[in-house]
Structures are given as C-alpha cells and as structure tokens.
C-alpha cells in the first residue's frame, strides 16, 4: 500500500487497524501526526473557510508549499487568485478532512503495524519535520525511513 500526504494517514490507520490486509507499506510526505506548522496552517485554512473567505484559505494553504520567501509569496498569490477553484467555499468534506488531520495521532498504534514499511520525507516539507518522519519509521517494528535533504542553492 502506498499513501501520500493525507493518503499516508489513511494508509497508516488501515495498516494499524487491519495488519493482515497490508503486506508492504510506503508512506510519502506523511507521519503519525502533523507537525505544528502544518496543524496551524490547516486550522487557519479551516477558519478562513468557515468565515466564507476561500481566497484567504487557499492563500494560507498554498503559501505553505513554497520552499523560500519568494516561493511562498508567489504560491500564496496563486491561492488568493484562484481560491474558490482550489478549496471551494467551505465544503464540509474539506473541513472534515482538515479537522481529522489536525487531531490525527497514531503514535501509540504504530507498533500494531506488521508490514515492512518505508517512510519517505524531506527536510523542506512544510507540514512535517524530519523528526516526525524518523519517529514514524522507528515506531513501526519493520520500519525504515528515507530522508531527503534539500541541496544548497
């Protein structure tokens, strides 16, 4: 099973709840819980959506994807321009997903995963830290991590 970002949380939960159903597990850009910056951005995004401000919501979440100041500014601007197209206007499914990810914490159940697993992440991931990627892999009995460092530019 392969899980990327939010799909990684779903894959981890499935592997912990139904270990016999998962033979191998790959998690990319996800960990047992969001990092503090990711939680804050998702909470703020949900607040903007509930306030009826989809452009501001999209700007908040898109800016997180930039790897430097100019990139964050550019992506935040794209979010602001295309807000409703990117995040809708307070869709209950998106709000439920943001709330679920904000409280998701599978740390205590990673030991229930029996499949060999790899957790892949990078040091510029805006939602998770290198420590979260490594700890996720360390707490899975047959887990390994592959950590990518950004090149100096």
Q: Do 70 and 127 sit in the same domain of this protein?
A: no
Q: Do 21 and 62 sit in the same domain of this protein?
A: no
Q: Do 77 and 95 sit in the same domain of this protein?
A: yes
Q: Do 44 and 90 sit in the same domain of this protein?
A: yes
Q: Is the pTM of this model over 0.75?
A: yes
Q: Do 115 and 150 sit in the same domain of this protein?
A: yes
Domain range spanning residue 67? 36-103
Q: Do 7 and 24 sit in the same domain of this protein?
A: yes
Cα separation, 80 vs 70, in Å, equals: 15
pLDDT, position 89? 84
Q: Give me the residues of the chain with pLDDT under 50, please.
A: 152-153
Please count the structural domains in the chain.
Answer: 2
Q: Do 67 and 40 sit in the same domain of this protein?
A: yes
Q: Do 80 and 113 sit in the same domain of this protein?
A: no
Q: Do 11 and 60 sit in the same domain of this protein?
A: no
pLDDT, position 151? 62
CA nearest 123: which of 98, 100, 145?
145
Q: Do 50 and 82 sit in the same domain of this protein?
A: yes
* Residue 124, domain CATH: 3.40.50.1820
Q: Do 122 and 143 sit in the same domain of this protein?
A: yes
* pLDDT tens digit sequence for 13-53: 999 999 999 999 999 999 999 999 999 999 999 999 999 99
Token pair, residue 133, equals: 């990627």
Q: Do 116 and 86 sit in the same domain of this protein?
A: no
Cα separation, 153 vs 120, in Å, equals: 22
For 11, half-sphere exposure in the C-beta direction (CA atoms, 13 angstrom radius) is 24
């Amino acid at each position: 099973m392969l899980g990327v970002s939010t799909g990684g949380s779903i894959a981890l939960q499935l592997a912990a709840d139904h270990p016999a159903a998962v033979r191998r597990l790959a998690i990319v850009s996800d960990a047992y819980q969001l990092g503090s910056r990711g939680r804050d951005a998702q909470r703020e995004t949900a607040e903007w959506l509930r306030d009826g401000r989809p452009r501001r919501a999209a700007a908040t979440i898109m800016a997180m994807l930039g790897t430097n100041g100019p990139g964050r500014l550019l992506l935040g601007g794209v979010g602001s321009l295309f807000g409703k197209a990117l995040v809708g206007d307070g869709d209950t499914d998106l709000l439920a997903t943001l709330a679920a990810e904000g409280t998701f914490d599978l740390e205590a159940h990673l030991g229930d995963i029996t499949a060999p697993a790899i957790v892949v992440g990078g040091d510029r991931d805006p939602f998770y830290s290198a420590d979260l990627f490594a700890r996720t892999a360390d707490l899975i009995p047959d887990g390994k991590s592959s950590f990518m460092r950004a090149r100096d530019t």
